[in-house]
Amino acid sequence: MKLRSIELALPHAREAAAFLTDIWGMAPAGAEGDTHYLRGSGGFPYLVALAESADAYVRSTTFVCSAERLETLKRSVAAAGLPATPTVSQDPGGGHGIIVELAEGELLRFLTDAQDVAPIEGRDLPVKLTHVVFNSADAEATGDLAERALGFRVSDRTKGMVFVRCNDSHHSTAFARAGFASLNHIAFEMADMDAVMRGIGRLRDQNMAPAWGPGRHGPGANVFAYFIAPFGPVIEFSTAVEKVPDDYQPGAPEDWTWPEGRIDQWGMSDKDFAGLRAAEEKFRHRRDWEPQPLDILSEENH
């Protein structure tokens, strides 16, 4: 199971796409109607889709997996009673699978048979997405649901977040204890720490300072720099998230405390709490499909 892409709807999608290519460092991956696709250097056909819309919202966050994993997922989603529907992707790479709505409206799409593309060169291109984090009214319950309904695993719990993995990367998603449901941020995996630092420099050229960072997190130990994108959401340059073994023991909030005055390993930078919070309110979840029965193969045929 791999996190692949996020699909957003927003006003002025073209301008947002231009920011992501010209300044953030992504490569264009074509447009289909009013939807713009942006890619990184890795094999995924795109990482971000931006569809023109009067309102800003999250259409889906897409994971790719094997056909076998998809079948397991269909059964656990149906058993959990979550709204879901079979889906065929019209986005680059195609593929088919399901889209699921979690308890607080988070829309996760799982595809199999989605095609990859040849990697491209570019030291300032993000390689891929490394995590998409959501705000939750009840992050603990959502973390539990991700384990039960999706087969994900909670990696760590802190005072602020429940970190969740779907492979050996410490987290591909997380649920922030925010008191409301929305997109918290989108993190792009950069090739190395230099690529993160050059990214900060590119944004500094545009008079954009990090809303938080550079720094190094506790859980996952990844390097980060968060920015508030001109088109609304919080986006992050990140690199070097920890790999964890299958039997990784989840930490509890009391295992992840900081010395007075610190909220990351380096302590280099201030955090714009108010600015980040306002940006996190902008992209809510919106389901534009009706739940349908999933075409679950019987155990005997599987």
Buried b vs exposed e over 211-241: b needs ≥16 C-beta within 10 Å? Answer: bbbbbbbbbbebbbbbbbbebbbbbbbbbbb
Residue 196 binds to Fe ion (criterion: CB under 5 A) = no
Q: How far apart (Å, rounded) are the C-alpha atoms in residues 77 and 90?
A: 23
Assess contact for 267 and 218: CB atoms under 8 A. no
Nearest-approach distance from CB 281 to Fe ion, in angstroms:
17
Which residues, at least 6 apart from 180, have a Cβ–Cβ distance to it below 8 Å?
135, 137, 281
Residue 163 CB, nearest distance to Fe ion (Å)? 10
Cβ distance to Fe ion smaller for residue 91 or 236: 236
Count, residues near Fe ion per rule CB under 5 A:
2
- Nearest residue to Fe ion, using CB? 187
Please list every residue from 43 through 72 that binds Fe ion, using CB under 5 A: none
| Binders in 242-281 for Fe ion, by CB under 5 A | none
Binding mask 224-243 for Fe ion (x = CB under 5 A): ------------x-------
Closest approach, Cβ 1 to Fe ion, in A, equals: 19
Nearer CB in complex with Fe ion: 183/187:
187
Among 49, 103, 145, 187, binds Fe ion (CB under 5 A): 187
Taking the CA of residue 123 as centre, how many other CA atoms within 13 Å lie in the half-sphere pointing to its CB? 6
The Cα 198–Cα 126 span in angstroms is 12
Interaction site with Fe ion (CB under 5 A): 187, 236
